[in-house]
Amino acid sequence: MDISFVSLLCMAFSSLLLLMIQSKTEAGMVVKLLHSNSFNNDVTHDAVSPVMSRRRRSISYYATISIGDPPVPHLLQIDTTSALLWLQCRPCSHCYRQRYPIFDPEISYTYKNQPCEPSYTYPILVPDEKTISCTYTDEYGSSGTLATETLTFQTTYGDVVSTLDDVVFGCGHDNYGNLANGLSGILGLSHNNLSIIHRFGSRFSYCFGNASDSSYTDSILALGEDEAVIMGDKTPLEIFRGLYYVTLEGISIGEIMLAIEPSVFQRKIDGRHGTLIDTGSTLVYLFREAYEPVGKEIRNVLEKKFMKTRLHSRRLMCYHGNIRRDLTGFPVLTFHFSGGAELSMDKESLFFMNGPDTFCLSIALAKNMLDANIIGAVAQQFYNVGYDLQALVVSFHKIDCSVL
> Are 72 and 103 a contacting pair, CB within 8 Å?
yes
pLDDT of amino acid 347: 96
pLDDT per position as a tens digit, 324-361: 999 999 999 999 999 999 999 999 999 998 888 999 99
DSSP state letter for 225: T
CA distances from 376 to 53, 283, 355 (A): 11, 5, 21
pLDDT per position as a tens digit, 5-57: 334 333 333 333 333 333 345 779 999 999 887 543 333 323 222 333 333 44
Non-local (6+) Cβ contacts of 356 within 8 A are 322
Domains of the chain: 3-223 (2.40.70.10), 233-403 (2.40.70.10)
Separation of alpha carbons 315 and 333, rounded Å: 18
pTM of this prediction? 0.88
Separation of alpha carbons 284 and 286, rounded Å: 7
Q: Is the dihedral of CA 238, 240, 243, 248 positive or negative?
A: negative
pLDDT per position as a tens digit, 73-83: 999 999 999 99
Separation of alpha carbons 87 and 153, rounded Å: 15
| CA-based R_g, the chain, Å | 22
> Are 205 and 230 a contacting pair, CB within 8 Å?
yes
Q: Kindly state the average pLDDT of the residues 276-298.
A: 95
Question: Mean pLDDT across the chain, nearest whole number?
Answer: 86
Residue 321 — pLDDT band, cuts 50, 70, 90? very high
Residue that wins the pLDDT comparison between 10 and 124:
124
Q: Kindly state the average pLDDT of the residues 176-189.
A: 86
Burial category of 275 from C-beta neighbours within 10 Å (exposed 0-12, middle 13-18, buried 19 and up) = buried
Q: Kindly state the average pLDDT of the residues 221-234.
A: 95
